Structure 1
Amino acid sequence: MWKHARGILDEMMDRGTIPDMSTFRVLLAGYCKARKFEEAKGLVSEMKSRSLIELSWSEDPLSKAFLILGLNPLTVRLKRDNDVRLSETEFFDDIGNGLYLDTDLDQYENHVNGVLEDSNVPNFNSFIREECINGNLKSALLLVEEMLRWGQELLLPDFSELVRRLCSSRSQIKSMTHLLEKMPQLACKLDQETLNLVVQAYCKKGLLSNAKFILEEMLQRKLRVKNETYTALLMSLCKKGNMRDFHNYWDVAQKDSWLPAFYVFEDLLTYICHQKMIGKALQLLEIMLLSYPHQRSGICYAFLEVVCATGFSGFALGFLEQLRPWFVLDHAGYNHLIRGLFKEGKFDVAFSILNGMLDKNLAPCLDVSVLLIDQLCKAGLHDKAIALKDIILKEHSAFSTSSHCALIHGFYNSGNTEKADTLFQDILSKGLILDSEVCNILIQASFKANDLRKVGEILGFTIRKNLVTLSSYRSLVRMMCVTGRVPDALSLKNLMLEQGTSDGLVLYNILIFYLLSSRNNSLVNKILDEMDEKKVVPNEVTYNFLVYGFLHCKDTFRSLHYLTTMIEKELKPSSRSMRFVISSLCNIGELQKALEFSQEMESRGWSHGSVIQNAITEGLLSHGKIQEAENFVDRMQEGLLTPENINYDNLVKQFCQHGRLDKAVHLMNIMLKKHNVPTSSSYDSVICGFCAQNKLDRALDLYSEMFVHDLKPKIKTQEMLFHCFCQHGRTEEAERFLMDMIENGETPTREMFCSAINTLRMEKNLKKASEMMQAMQQVGYDPDFETHWSLISNLSDDKAKHTDNRSKRFLSRLLSESGFSLKRRFRT
């Protein structure tokens, strides 16, 4: 077949397919296999002309062909047969010379055949490398899968490059984990540079268990862990609240001379302070000051800002005392300190800091000044508040409105409405513009004072100045509806519509919501008619408000009407609407109607939350439709209609009460798969159910599972398990169960001790019975006379044991602990 190879090569070039190195390598292998070495030499010359190889004038083309194929020219040589006595000729050249290969022919044939066989398999490593360079990670991963199916192995350099590329893509971290797990032999050979990137990528994604596993591997292999890697892990651990591991790896990082980068100092410090670890914060500060001596001032200011913002302003004051005299607070530092003190409610200290600022002719920034003015007014220090307002006007004349608004806010909050009104009139006379927040405050204060004239005056002002935002409109409508001033709310809506600055549908939605919330449902029909006249089309929000609102007003019929209308209009009701409607229908006994809505949801693939599933299932169970209840829950699971946060705790207890323990366990397993641990009461119900059915081993499995999830069983559950041990004759396990309870700080019931003693007595195990009675007395229980006497009777009957001095001691102890004495004399 080698005769056709040249023709195929020519056809490739005619069609514009340029042969590459792999093509010529296959041709060389074929010619060398067929012993067509002249053709092989010609191919080498052609490869040189195409700049695929370099060939000097002194090099032998055939030796070069052997090199290209991976053969050693020194061990594979072509010789002419000159021996006339014993011919070694294998083939002849074009002029008839007898030639032979001087080499190990078996090895030669195997090697050439290997090259030909490998040519049938794509060079996946080069393809994967190319896809990585082009950033096509998904394509590279598909090639890896295909490569494994072909039985090829990914080379370590290409594996490392692919892992590094995956690390840089946050969306491919799961794929990287899958790759590492699929190729553990290559994963354990990754270099420290790549492994550092892997740990950092896991930390950024919050996959801390993966990150810790890789880091531990690095530490065991004594590879260098970068500062960035330690920082990423510590920040993630702190953010997740995993403080045990945080302290552990903090110590590891410290021993490894860890130095966080300057740009991450503030973020890391913030996480540490949020976890209330001020000691670690000081350690971090010390590391930074020693490592960045030229940035000491910036480090201290960053430290001050973070500790003040996270609730440690009192500590910051002490910190400043320690740094004096070389570190002096500037304007920004004072502002950080006052903000922190306000956040912690330390207003008196904040006022003293303010005095220190003013003594140095430093004015607080605007946001701090607003905080101070409001609090100064509350403290009755109106003169200081006014003085501070004047300072703002002097320092920041552009913020005159803000300072006036802050003062009005402070006066109203402190109950000084007269001064607030005076200041308000002063602002109006000066032509200053108030913000919407202050106008809203003024209106609310007038409402509280029942000063309707003032309400109208300020409301008119705010509407004329376009200061009524949606937020203030919402709060005003709520207040009007709650206080019975519904006509005012309707008038306000009309004014806002005339103003035309807000979306009309939003204004109607807000009004409908608060009318229904205040049970003014009779007016909602008029609002809906008005919306229809003005061509304002209700949306999902409108219908959800109507469904929930009418249900709130006890008008189930209207609620169902709007829910049905909503679904017919292909609008999806909110989970809240469906939850309340279905649970309400179940509560009033309309189970069939609830099931119809559920089926509608099911047909549309809408998720059934915990409330809906619990309501319908409990309704079916209460009507004795146990199988239908099981089928309903199964259908939810099969249809993937169960959300991640599903809670079946109530249903677990319900199914236990109906003896369907397997279904109860199945529901618990669904919760666990969705990372939602059932409550201890669910476990208690199932364990007690299995005990009642004499399925002790299954009960014990669930009992052990409780401790895995840090759940504490009820004493009644433990008592039931214990009695099951005794009933099944598993006395040793019962005794061990009892002792484990005591060792774990729990107190078994008196009945448990008595049952154990009686079981041991019946088994003639008097030694264990005495030890059990002693344990019973140690936890504070006094055995009853009958139990005492039965033990003494057994001791009397067992003569062999009573001859033992030790048994006598037991009898003496037993009587004395019961209030008797062998020395006592009975008198007649």
Structure 2
Amino acid sequence: MPSFSFLRTLRVSLFPPYPPIAIPTATLHSQPHSHHHHHDAVASFNRMLLMRPPPPTFHFNNILSSLVNNKHYPTVISLFKQFEPNGITPDLCTLSILINCFCHLTHITFAFSVLANILKRGYHPNAITLNTLIKGLCFCGEIKRALYFHDKVVAQGFQLDQVSYGTLINGLCKAGETKAVTRLLRKLEGHSVKPDVVMYTTIIHCLCKNKRVGDACDVYSEMIVKGISPNVFTYTTLIHGLCIMGKMKEAFSLLNEMKLKNINPSVCTFNILIDALGKEGKMKEAKIVLAMMMKACIKPNVVTYNSLIDGYFLVNEVKHAKYVFHSMAQRGVTPDVQCYTIMIDGLCKKKMVDEAMSLFEEMKHKNMFPNIVTYTSLIDGLCKNHHLERAIALCKKMKEQGIQPNIYSYTILLDALCKGGRLENAKQFFQHLLVKGYHLNVRTYNVMINGLCKAGLFGDVMDLKSKMEGKGCMPNAITFKTIICALLEKDENDKAEKFLREMIARGLLEV
């Protein structure tokens, strides 16, 4: 039997020193208790407390588990305090539930103090208890401590299961520790626990997310060689990675492989392919995938329609985009905020601002709240179609609705002021952004520099370029090209040549 003495040492080395189990005050009041289930569960718990003799501990555990399932972690911690004063002895299950609650609330120190309590009572931590602690450490970003805990546990002869390793692999992947994941997989080769499809899929997802699709394909090949069959999630993850890299041929090869292996693609699998084809402007192919989807008896969802609408706007097929949007309701799919935003953005780009505004008003009538992207798309459309005052009014309305415009929204307005012959207003607005402490990006500076260049205010341009660099925002190729072109137009050839040399010296222009 494994020794438990090491755990006492381990808990001190991980989080010294451990206090006795205590309930943080903020934890007890961190969630509103409004659900009927919550009230019923607490009432049942309190009734059981009054019974003499009290019911077996597992009855109390069932109530605590149901509260955990509904994410009422503070309530569970509060109820636990009533165990021993009422003559109820918590068992290993009770204490594991408590550990789970502390982990979800990121109180890892308290979770390990419960582990100390488990050992003090002479209980033997099982895989569920240890898995919960590993998951808690990973959840809080304590990946190195999770690995250390794993190594010590294994060294003492404890048997961890696939959930343990799946949790560790997931945590390592989220932290970008792909080398550590590989080492962990190699360690598993000598253990009774073998890598499974979930572990491999997690690694493939991580690699695809970091655009290391080649490595992901190698991992996929490795799992095939080891006789581990990929599932729909494995294929969907890899197809997504290939689509991101523009490798559509390989993505469709995997789709065909799924059919040969009698693995049914999910709505997510088809949506990924439709979206990728739409972004490439291949709407005929996207419609073929949609037909395949329907043939497979998989109902398109709002994500499917959003991808189609976006794709049709991209290839200037506005009528098709509008048709898809208006036909959604007939097919039992309700357009969401993103759907309206795609429509508004697409219509604005096609100078159909009035229709875009009409959809914006429709959102309000449907109690649908536009987000910052919706507002910014509409502001951009109004500005580019010479409705600057309406754009300014919309920006004010946006703030009234509690949505703070970002620097991208403000840059659009700044650009419109400069191009609309209102340079003084633009300068005041730009200064306001600086005073308010907004983190101005190179695009914002370029818009202001372009406005000053058009007005021939080269002294102001030099000052702004100097301030820009002083704030750590380095000019890019557009900055230099804007200044050089403006100087050439004013026959300031020597100054233009000087900027050209600086541009070359900074590596912004290949000679």
Compute the TM-score of the two structures, normalised by the length of structure 1: 0.32
Which structure has more relative contact order (CA 8 Å, sep 6+)? It is 2
